[in-house]
Chain A
Amino acid sequence: MGPSATMVDVSGPLMERSPLAVRPRHAEGAVRVLLTTFGVFVVLTTVTMIAFLGHAGVRGMRVAGISSLLTGLTWKPEIDEYGGLSLIVGTFTSASGALMFGAVPAVLAAVWLTEFAPPSIKVIERRILEVASSIPSVVYGWLALVYLVPIMYWVAHALRGADAAVTGEGLASASVLLGVMIAPTVMLLSLDALARVPRALRDASAALGASPWQTAFRVSVPYAWRGLLVAIFFGFARAAGETMAVQMVIGGARRLPKDLLFSPTTTISTQIVMDMQEARPGTPQNDVLFSMALILLVVSVVVVIGTRILGKPRHS
């Protein structure tokens, strides 16, 4: 239909593709340069950030040694001990716990909403979650501090005996908190992923006699599994990077937790923020904090690049 459909090379940017594009005047050139600058700015900023942090982090790694940062057990910068294992384990376990308490229920709830729920409920619940995902994380952290920690104290005493040596702060509290925080976002992403399942597929499955349950779990979910996995990974990355809210409920003990659920421990980001308060720029203590940040950065980047690779649509 029309001259632009078949006779013009459509591989360039829109403005040049169309034969109707007017030859640019000089002002156009200036604006084009300005816009290109924005693009360049984005790249430059990313490179600068990585460079600055990498430089400080590498300095820190020379001070502390990579093996100590990754596997050492004692983190005591005041006596120059930089064992980051407890921090790394804390980050991973709290983020995994968050997946268990928040991401998986969120995905299941999204499946129910898409496949089984009446449309009005879906709309309402989606609205609620959009609002819930915009509540600041420190608010959730504060609520957890005031209400969740005493509940965990009671649960710990119920599970471990009336004289258990617990205070309520620890991995259980942190995991539940992080789960509650990431659940709305994971659910919204899962809803989007499930919405992309073509209707024809569902109809075909129903036509073959499958019940809604079978359609949901044997047709829709497998089709959308990539999107769902992306949602879960995204939740993991967010939980691993969360700082202040976790700091309020995880206890801050710089050691591996004795009791996996109820002993206080710490995470990479929590420890960075707490130690940064009194670290003096230029000292080895400060540089090692940047090294731990580098480790966290590598983990996050790997997880999110993984989601990009997963998310690339492959026509099956």
Chain B
Amino acid sequence: MTLRWNQNVPTLAVALACFIGGCDRSPPPGPAPVAASAEATAQKANDVLSGAIQVSGSSALQPLVNAAKEQYETRNHGASIEVSAGGSKKGLADVAAGAVQVGDSDIFAPQDLASQLVDHKVAVVGFAAMANKGPYNEHVSALGLAEMAKVFSGVITDWKQLGGSAQPIVVINRAPGSGTRAVFGSIVLGGGDKFVESQTEDNSGALVTKLKQTKGAISYLALSFADPDLVVLGIKTDAGVIEPSSAAITTGTYPIWSYEHMYTKGQLSPLTKQFIDYILSSDFQDHTLPRVKGFIPVTQMKVSRIKD
């Protein structure tokens, strides 16, 4: 068998790349959340439940659910919580169809679903308009609610109309299924879907990158994604500027916030019930939740809402 230049040699070359390209001599990554577990931090004797539950929906809630998942799985080795994104409306549709056990949502379930689903409010999250930081808007740090509405509905199209220098505004929306879009739409734009039709980006990480790269860009995100390289716009009122902070949200002064709902349907499996109980427990709400950026315990809210 002769040396086949078009088959064997490229294969060998690639194979040698395995050796040359290298042994990965870097230190092993930090202890995997599952393998580690030395501390028995559980105060109660938890029944060690096993199995898997699936959670899908809001990307804004995902960091919190992941924090809960890590803690929970450390205490219950056989349990597996699988979290995926897709948007609040997908979460609602999935849990109503029975495809997942828990649906995360930034918004209250619409009427036709609300009767089938059970609502568990696990946290409060604030949202804000965030924009690309540039020389054209260095003096703009807050907008009035009415101004914000005009920007996102396409009436105001240039940063100079907001106090900056001449630069067209590039609105980047969230996907129509996004809970963030729905919340922002109902609070800032007054309901309906009055957003100007523009480019949509639903991956929050990619959205932050896009905001940093595109001149004139503005969008809306949960505060957990706030980034120092972006301008986080406060709300301008006659009384001054309201910054989106936990204090302002809990007193209701800063109006752009919503509950984070975890919806379930019908009879809960023991694992699901225990997981939700864990998230609602004071252990999680007082110790872990405050450490996750952007989330506020429901109990701290001095105002409440029954619908968006």
Contact = CB atoms under 8 A, between A and B. Distances in A.
Contact of A277 (B172, B177, B210, B217): B177
Given A76-B193, A278-B177, A169 B87 contact: no
A108 interface: no
B193 A79 contact: yes
Interface string A112-153: 000000000000000000000000000000000000001001
Given A78-B193, A167-B217, A252-B175, A264 B93 contact: no
A92 B272 CA distance: 47
Nearest to B174: A252
A79 to B, nearest CB: 6
Contacts, number: 70
Interface string A244-283: 0000000111110000000010000000001101111100
Contacts of B97: 280-281
- Most chain A beta-carbon neighbours within 10 Å: one of B90, B96, B177, B198: B198
Contact of B199 (A169, A280, A281): A169
A252 B200 contact: yes
A166 interface: yes
Interface in A157-189: 163-169
B169 interface: yes
Interface string B169-207: 110110111000000000000001100011111000000
Contacts of B192: 79
Nearest to B201: A252
Nearest to A286: B93
Contacts of A277: 86-87, 90, 93, 177
Interface string A293-306: 00000000000000
Contacts of A274: 175-177
A164 to B, nearest CB: 7
Contacts of A163: 166-168, 215-216
Given A274-B175, A280-B96, A165 B200 contact: no
Contact of A76 (B170, B176, B201): B176
Interface of A: 76-79, 150, 153, 163-169, 251-255, 264, 274-275, 277-281
15 contacts: A78-B176, A153-B213, A163-B167, A163-B215, A165-B157, A167-B170, A167-B199, A167-B217, A168-B214, A253-B198, A277-B87, A278-B177, A279-B93, A280-B96, A280-B97
